[in-house]
Structure 1
Amino acid sequence: MSKVPMDVVTDIFHRLPVKTLLRFRSLSKPYCSLIDDPDFTNAHLDRSIKTRSNLNIILKGLHLYSVEFDALDNAVPIDYPLSSGAGTEAFGSCNGILAFRLTDKNLALYNPSTRQFRRLPVSEIDPPPGDSCKSGYIFYGFGQDVKTNDYKVVRMVQFNKSDDEDDEGIFYDYEVKVYSLKNDSWRKITKLPPYLRFMFQFFYHLLHRRGYGVLAGGVLHWVMPPRIELGPRNRIVGFDLGNEEFIEVPQPECADKNYLLDVAALEGRLCAVCNYDQEKIDVWTMKEYGVKQSWTKLISIQRTRTITTLTFLKPLAYSKQLDKVLVEINSQKFAWYDLQKKKMRSVKIGGSPGTFGAEVYIGSLIQIEDLKRLEIEKQNEQDELKNRNRKKRDDFLSKGFKLVL
């Protein structure tokens, strides 16, 4: 291998799985430096995205499971630092990094491929001053700010006065905070649109799991259900991770206006999922972000004898040949949807939980640990060890020693 030119080695390494590259770090110092280099890490990730390689499906239930996309055979439990107790929620995935929530004060980022784990600093929830209210529903989102190559977590807290969960109470302005991985800190967003206070509806969000933002085009998306105050239509609300501002995203012109709207992402493109009274579901994809005319119908599924109800559908990923789309149905099963034949074929995955939420994540070498901080801590440990050894030596010399003849 020492005779192989480094550019050839680099090209070969770009094509290898993450697990193999992590083993190859121990071959030599030059290889380790190459694999750890940010330029190589980003190039390897870009190639994986373009070739649909290193893809995995995460199943989210009481515990977390991982399924290799190329095989789609068995679900394997994910061993992660917060896995000692059930109930850990994975609320986002971006470039191989998962965002975890254990409690509202215990958030973390985790790369399952490299097993790097990083807890986020605690940011207290601050109710509006002068009002007797409490925090209610909390929305989360996670994604990348492409402009600055920073990874951000968004937390939106809704406040109300009501003690009755069935009563939506009087809604107050949201508190919105954004965590920056680069700065390792939170900051409060003060410029909030007035409609934000009407976004939450109790059963609507709990049943359809819209508390987690959907990442597409560098924007996190949530659905605002129809409100009397704002009119009888759904809205797609976005938070631009670059500008850190809220936007309203145009939705497709569906033939039947009476539908339940959901959002999803397919290969980085925003999707609108229109559910017509659990009888039919249409999936639209936005080919050019922000352009209403670019909405294109991708999937249309009717209720059948094998699928007696259509309560939920989520597109996950294209096949390698781009002729099929893997979809999650009713949080219970998977199926391939053939884009040409307009037919579905069920996919059975062994070891999967009875009900789950599915998320796509890609294996990557992206670093989430603070390398400078780790280097400083390592240096401090080495200095402390040297000081201890020096003290032991000085104590020994100060006491003297006797030669025994």
Structure 2
Amino acid sequence: MSKVPLDVVTGTLYQLPVKTLLRYRCLSRPLCSIIDDPDFIKLQLNNSIATKSHLRLILKGLHLYSVELDSLDKAIPFNHYPESIWTGTEVFGSCNGLLALSNSDQDIALFNPATRQLFKLPVEYIDLPDKSCIRGFVFYGFGHDLVSDDYKVVRMVQFKKDEDDNLGCFVEYEVKVFSLKNRSWTRVKKLPNYLRFMFQFYFHLLHRRGYGVYVNGVVHWVSPRRPEFGIGNLIVAFDLGLEEFRLLPQPNYGAREKDFVLDVGALEGHMCLMCNYDLVKVDVWMMKEYGLKESWSKMFSIDRCRSISSFRFLRPLICSNEDGGDKVLLEVNGEKLVWYDWKRKKLKTVKIDGGPDSFVACICVESLIPLDNGSHGIILKKLQEQKEKKTQWMISCQKDLNWFYDQLTKDAEYEQSEKGGCWMLEQNHISIIGLGQVVAVSLCKEIFSEDAEFAEAAVVQKGVRFVKDIGLAPAIIELDFLNIVKSH
């Protein structure tokens, strides 16, 4: 590895499956440091999304199952959590390789199937506005805050004063947001009036329509048409960065605007709408430019056929890379997966061995997105915050660093005459700026002056050692990038 440039190594690694990367991570400190780097994690994720590689289909029946999207042949049950706890778990979101799971309003977790990390959210109780109210339906949402690079869970609780779900007599909603980065819940105080009419019992009870659809940093739900109040279909959007609600503009549906049931979905990173006409026909619309009403276009229509007796529910999952991308994988009625060629108007049923008879489906990309809140994550965050300060220091000490590099021969061999020992330094792994550095002890003390113990923790966590006996100024050498071997 010492003879291969770092960018070549990185360019090869990010194309590999997560399972392989986790194995390589255990081979050496340099590999571990590369794979754990936040920039590499993003690079691997973006490449997998762009190339549609390392994708899995998640099926939720009585249990959770994973299916390789390339083959779609065999469903493998998850066994990374106690079945007694997670039987009946709902999957209410999938984003960048993370699944959002729930057993109840207060039992929520995030799960990375590729790394097998599970993070249970702290319990957040529901605050009833007064004793006369009872809790109604609960909506969930999950996605990526593009502004703060955070992952957030949205929980929206409906309150009402009697048992009639359809008359719109409920009082208000409680909306709370959990931040993975901050590990805490906050309450959204500014709620629009249209939330009062959002819930409709049969619409949201069936086919998990209360679970928000994530696109472009925003989670979306449908507020179904309420003719008794003179309210049409609404697309309710919650911006995870601003933590504010708004309405998403809809296309011009045409003459039959009031004759369909509306659903929302996501396809190829774009917002989609499904217009279901009397269970016999579905129109699928796509928003090419998010937020722009004029960018809506009808993608395709699908009619009832012999293999599908009715469309109680239909949602597109992903387009195929083959045949010019004219095929789309559809979940139909929570019991069937089909490939639909919208150019040829042909359907092909997908048969998966070992899968549940009834299910809900979602796409999950393999990623290295971490969920742990251990010292490693804290150290990386603090190192990033001090990056600018360290860079300025490195510039001011460039002369000393140049002296150090001048001591390295072409073979990266440095003789120390006073000690009589020979030190071999893998020169290709040295990076002046970034995680791999030669950092003076004085700098370490200066950077972490507010928390002296943190410097020591950083040394232990990153595999760093103090080197004082090789003729250099007292320094910290990060062995993630600099491997030192003493020969006699």
Give the structure-2-normalised TM-score. 0.74
SS of equivalent to 2:246: strand
Q: Tell me what 1:403 maps to.
A: none
1:328 aligns with 2:331: yes
Match of 1:219 in 2: 218
- Given residue 233 of structure 1, which amino acid in structure 2 is its aligned partner? G
Structure 2 CA distance for partners of 1:93 and 1:334, relative to 1, 3 Å: same
Task: Give 1:169 shift.
Answer: 6.7
Matched residue, 1:70: 70
1:109-136 alpha-carbon deviations (Å, 9 max, x no partner):
11011111111111111111x4511111
State the match for 1:347 in structure 2.
350
Residues 207, 334 of structure 2: 8 Å contact kept: no
What secondary structure sits across from 2:83 in the alignment?
coil
Is the counterpart of residue 200 in structure 1 residue 203 in structure 2?
A: no
With over 3 angstroms needed to count, the CA separation of the structure-2 counterparts of 1:369 and 1:260, relative to structure 1, is same
The one-letter code matched in structure 1 to 2:224 is P
The answer on whether the counterparts of 1:82 and 1:88 sit within 8 Å (CA) in structure 2 is: no
**Separation in structure 2 between the aligned mates of residue 253 and residue 234 of structure 1, nearest angstrom:** 12
Does residue 1:271 correspond to 2:272, yes or no?
yes
* 3-state secondary structure, aligned to 1:84: helix
Whole-Å separation in 1 of the counterparts to 2:180 and 2:306: 48
1:218-246 residue CA offsets vs partner (Å, 9 max, x unmatched): 11000001114652521111101111100
Q: Deviations over 1:316-346 (max 9, x none)?
A: 0111242211111111111111132232211
How far apart, in 2, do the equivalents of 1:101 and 1:373 lie? 27
CA distance in 2, matches of 1:147, 1:82: 35
Task: Indicate if the aligned counterparts of 2:287 and 2:296 stay in contact, CA closer than 8 A.
Answer: yes
Q: How many angstroms does 1:81 deviate by?
A: 2.3
**In the alignment, structure 1 residue 357 sits paired with structure 2 residue 356:** no
Q: Which residue number corresponds to residue 287 of structure 2?
A: 286
Residue pair 1:113, 1:365 contacting (<8 A) in 2 also: yes
- Mapped to 2, the partners of 1:196 and 1:375 lie a distance apart of 38
- Deviation string 1:49-93 (CA, Å, 9 cap, x unpaired) is 110011111001211111111111111101232533411111111
Alpha carbons 1:331, 1:357 under 8 Å: kept: yes
Q: Given residue 283 of structure 2, which amino acid in structure 1 is its aligned partner? A: D
Shift of 1:372: 2.8
> Which is higher, the Rg of structure 1 or of structure 2?
2
Measured in 2, the distance between the counterparts of 1:178 and 1:2 equals 46
CA apart distance, 1:373: 7.8
**Could you tell me which residue of structure 2 aligns to residue 394 of structure 1?**
none
1:115 maps to a residue whose letter is R
Which residue does the alignment assign to 2:306? 305
Whichever residue aligns with residue 100 of structure 2, its letter is: A
Q: 1:229 to 1:244 in 2, by over 3 A?
A: farther
Q: Which amino acid aligns with 1:340?
A: K
Residue in 1 that maps onto 2:132: 132
Moved more, 130-139 or 167-176: 167-176
RMSD: 2.0
CA distance in 1 between partners of 2:331 and 2:377 (Å): 40
SS of equivalent to 2:135? strand
The residue that corresponds to 2:10 in the other structure is 10
* CA distance in 1 between partners of 2:344 and 2:289 (Å): 26
Rate the CA distance shift 1:356–1:211 in 2: closer, same or farther, 3 A. Answer: same
**Cα distance between partner residues in 2 of 1:354 and 1:149:** 37
Structure 2 residue identity aligned to 1:317: I
Matches within 5 A, 1:309-320: 309-320=310-321
Q: Distance in 2 between matches of 1:166 and 1:282?
A: 29
- AA partner of residue 239 (structure 2): D
Match of 2:248 in 1: 249
Does the CA-based 8 Å contact 2:207-2:360 persist in structure 1? no
Q: Which amino acid aligns with 1:101?
A: S
Deviation at 1:94, TM superposition (A): 0.6
Per the alignment, residue 154 of structure 1 pairs with 154
Matched residue SS, 1:126: coil
1:370 aligns with 2:369: no
Q: Could you tell me whether the CA contact under 8 Å between 2:270 and 2:288 is conserved in 1? A: yes
Aligned-partner SS, 2:67: strand
Paired residue type of 1:301: I
Q: Cα distance 1:246–1:13, how it changes in 2: closer, same or farther (>3 A)?
A: same
Q: Distance in 1 between matches of 2:158 and 2:264?
A: 21
In structure 2, the partner of 1:38 is 38
8 Å contact from structure 1 (residues 82, 102) kept in 2? no
CA–CA separation in structure 2 for the residues paired with 1:9 and 1:291: 41
| Identical amino acids, percent of aligned pairs | 56
C-alpha deviation, 1:250, in angstroms: 1.3
Query: Distance in 2 between the 1:374 and 1:79 partners?
Result: 26
Alpha-carbon contact 2:108-2:121 (below 8 Å) kept: yes
TM normalised by structure 1 equals 0.89
Measured against aligned partners, the alpha-carbon deviations of 1:285-339 in whole angstroms (never above 9, x if no partner) come to: 1001111111111121101122111111110011124221111111111111113
1:141 partnered with 2:141? yes
- Partner SS, residue 48 of structure 1: helix
Equivalent residue number for residue 190 of structure 1: 189
Summarize deviations over 1:164-187 as a string: whole Å, max 9, x none. 366657201100000001110000
**Letter matched to residue 187 of structure 1:** T
Amino acid at match of 2:44: H
Does the aligned pair in 1 maintain the 2:165–2:200 contact within 8 Å?
no
Structure 1 CA distance for aligned equivalents of residues 378 and 139 of structure 2? 35
SS at match of 1:23: helix
Cα distance in 1 between the residues matched to 2:8 and 2:165: 63
Question: Is 1:99 aligned to 2:100, yes or no?
Answer: yes
Cα 1:153/1:59, change in 2 over 3 Å: same
Question: Matched residue of 2:156: which SS?
Answer: strand
* 1:205 to partner: Cα distance: 0.7
Aligned twin of 1:236: 235
Note if contact 1:214-1:222 (Cα within 8 Å) is conserved in structure 2.
yes
Matches within 5 A, 1:372-391: 372=375
- Once the two structures are TM-superposed, the CA of residue 267 in structure 1 deviates from its matched residue by 1.9
Separation in structure 1 between the aligned mates of residue 307 and residue 158 of structure 2, nearest angstrom: 40
